[in-house]
């Protein structure tokens, strides 16, 4: 079983010399055996073919997911748990550890083993799956870890663009011509954009993590509902204000926000292993009040989201494989135009109580790679608490400024909640 990598997957894969890894950390209270963990991971590989896949190149040097005759198990690294923040240290180590993807799968597992409490990390190459896929895998892993006989089904995997884009669109002559024309124009434009001779030196990478208290999280959700805006828009606006306050004229007043393709393409199921993302950009009007700006931003977000067309986007990208090298070069060496990537996974609907253990928390995933500005903020809500992972590199955003931005975000959330309470 094999399939060619799509354009976006090839871009994330790169040439294999620079890791582009996502880490999903979580904390369990209970006692486990290595055999139980290995078995649960093997069940994931049984269900999801691409978790068994390696990367192989054909004679044109095009990469393919290919499942070997004798599949390789998901590697497990076990270390003794020494302190509460150890998962952050291990996350950073995993960012920088490249996958030997011609010999091992594009997924591995870290068990920070404690007597009563363990922290565990799923680590994926970002070309394998997105945040939605990762949460589905975590749900299935915990289900089997608790009950080895649990039924998690079998995935009907995606083999290519034909499994995502409906045939009446993919085979439509006008749409195919439009996609190819856009792809050609984009390829030409990318080739003409001037870039630096070398990429910015990232220097040291860092991870800043924090949680909001459950009461604060509930109050924030309530504020957003009463204001007629989503939590995503509220937090995006708050992030923009924090960057402006801390960075001044160096701030871009732009954050890029991933949009789950599953909202628009029902062919992609929640448990599909897939890594294609859609994107919108948020900006704020800094001449009006925060609340007035929120409503304008919400309208803009809804307008931009409604215009997203995953099918045409995929067709455009698949027509531009020959532009991959120039596009990657632009991302690596072009000037940054966004303050950060901001991703809100929303409420994670995974049970916390099991027969044999309890899931104390899921830390928001972190991801870092070589394609330009690494500044990324991921938030999620689990067991009523909002959780934030803020990733960056000194060469793009000094950690001292990132810490100040975190403090500003927390202060501005508190300020808006106090204002609501007072009014």
User: How does pLDDT run across 259-292, given as a tens digit for each residue?
Assistant: 988 888 889 988 899 888 899 999 999 888 888 8
Contact call for residues 361 and 29 (beta carbons, < 8 A):
no
Q: Which residues contact 412 (CB under 8 A, 6 or more apart)?
A: 238, 241, 242
pLDDT at 13: 94
pLDDT score for 336? 85
Alpha helices in 171-309, H assignment, sequence order: 173-192, 214-227, 231-247, 290-307
How large is the average pLDDT for residues 28-43? Answer: 97
Output the pLDDT for position 419. Answer: 81
Residue 12 has pLDDT above 90, yes or no: yes
Nearest one of 373, 339, 63, 322 to 186, comparing CA atoms = 322
DSSP H stretches of helix in 228-278: 231-247
The correct answer on CATH 1.10.3720.10 for the domain covering 198-309+332-422 is no
For residue range 315-324, what is the model confidence (pLDDT) as tens digits?
999 998 988 9
Average pLDDT, the chain: 94
Residue 112 pLDDT: 98
Confidence class for position 311, pLDDT limits 50, 70, 90: very high
% of the chain surpassing 90 pLDDT:
80
180-191 average pLDDT score: 87
Structural Rg of the chain based on CA atoms: 22
User: Could you report the per-residue pLDDT of 63-119, keeping only the tens digit for each?
Assistant: 999 999 999 999 999 999 999 999 999 999 999 999 999 999 999 999 999 999 999
Tokens 């109050």 -> residue: 219
Tokens of 267: 């062919």
Distance CA 238, CA 24 (A): 25
pLDDT at 275: 87
3-class secondary structure, 335: coil
Question: Domain limits of the chain?
Answer: 2-146, 198-309+332-422
Say how far apart CA 387 and CA 378 lie, in whole Å.
8
The whole-angstrom separation of Cα 19 and Cα 243 is 27
Pick the CATH number of 2-146 from 3.30.559.10, 3.40.50.720, 2.60.40.420, 1.10.3720.10: 3.30.559.10
At residue 228, the pLDDT reads 92
* All residues at 6 or more sequence positions from 46 whose CB lies less than 8 Å from its CB, including other chains: 154
DSSP run (H or E) holding 407: helix 399-422
Average pLDDT over residues 152-165: 94
What is the percentage of the chain residues whose pLDDT exceeds 70? 100
Give me the count of residues in the chain.
423
Q: Residue 422 pLDDT more than 80?
A: no
Span 338-393, pLDDT tens digits: 999 999 999 999 999 999 999 999 999 999 999 999 999 999 999 999 999 999 99
Please tell me what DSSP assigns to residue 259.
E
Per-residue pLDDT tens for 212-241?
999 999 999 999 999 999 999 999 999 999
Residue identified by tokens 């009950």 is: 147
Is the dihedral angle over the CA atoms 37, 42, 48, 50 positive or is it negative? positive
């Amino acid at each position: 079983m094999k399939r060619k990598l799509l354009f976006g997957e090839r871009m994330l894969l790169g040439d294999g010399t620079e890791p582009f890894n996502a880490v999903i950390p979580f904390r369990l209270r209970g006692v486990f055996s290595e055999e139980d963990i290995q078995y649960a991971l093997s069940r994931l590989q049984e269900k999801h073919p691409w978790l068994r896949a390696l990367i192989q190149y054909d004679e044109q040097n095009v990469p393919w997911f290919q499942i070997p005759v004798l599949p390789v198990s998901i590697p497990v690294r076990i270390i003794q748990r020494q302190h509460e923040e150890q998962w952050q240290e291990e996350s950073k180590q995993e960012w920088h550890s490249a996958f030997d993807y011609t010999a091992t799968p594009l997924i591995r597992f870290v068990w920070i083993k404690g007597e009563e409490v363990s922290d565990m990390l799923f680590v994926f190459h970002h070309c394998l799956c997105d945040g939605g896929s990762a949460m589905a895998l975590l749900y299935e892993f915990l289900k089997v870890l608790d009950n080895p006989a649990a039924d998690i089904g079998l995935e009907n995997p995606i083999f290519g663009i034909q499994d995502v884009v409906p045939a009446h669109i993919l085979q439509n002559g006008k749409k195919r011509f439009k996609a190819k024309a856009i792809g050609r124009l984009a390829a030409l434009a990318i080739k003409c954009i001037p870039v630096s001779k070398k990429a910015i030196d990232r220097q040291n990478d860092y991870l800043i993590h924090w949680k909001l208290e459950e009461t604060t999280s509930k109050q924030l959700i309530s504020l957003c509902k009463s204001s007629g805006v989503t939590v995503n828009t509220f937090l995006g606006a708050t992030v923009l204000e924090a960057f402006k306050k801390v960075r001044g004229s160096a701030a871009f007043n732009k954050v890029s926000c991933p949009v789950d393709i599953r909202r628009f393409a029902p062919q992609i199921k929640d448990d599909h292993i897939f890594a294609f993302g859609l994107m919108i950009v948020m900006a704020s009007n800094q001449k009006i009040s925060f609340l007035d700006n929120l409503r304008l931003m919400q309208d803009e977000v809804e307008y931009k989201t409604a215009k997203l067309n995953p099918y045409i986007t995929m067709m455009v990208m698949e027509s531009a494989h020959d532009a991959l090298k120039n596009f990657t070069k632009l991302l690596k060496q072009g000037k940054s135009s966004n303050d950060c990537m901001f991703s809100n996974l929303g409420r994670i609907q995974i049970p916390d109580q099991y027969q044999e253990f309890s899931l104390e928390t899921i830390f928001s995933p972190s991801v870092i790679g070589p394609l330009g500005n690494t500044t990324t903020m991921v938030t999620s809500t689990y067991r009523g608490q909002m959780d934030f992972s803020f990733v960056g590199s000194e060469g793009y955003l000094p950690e001292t400024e990132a810490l100040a931005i975190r403090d500003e975000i927390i202060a501005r959330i508190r300020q808006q909640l106090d204002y609501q309470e007072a009014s």
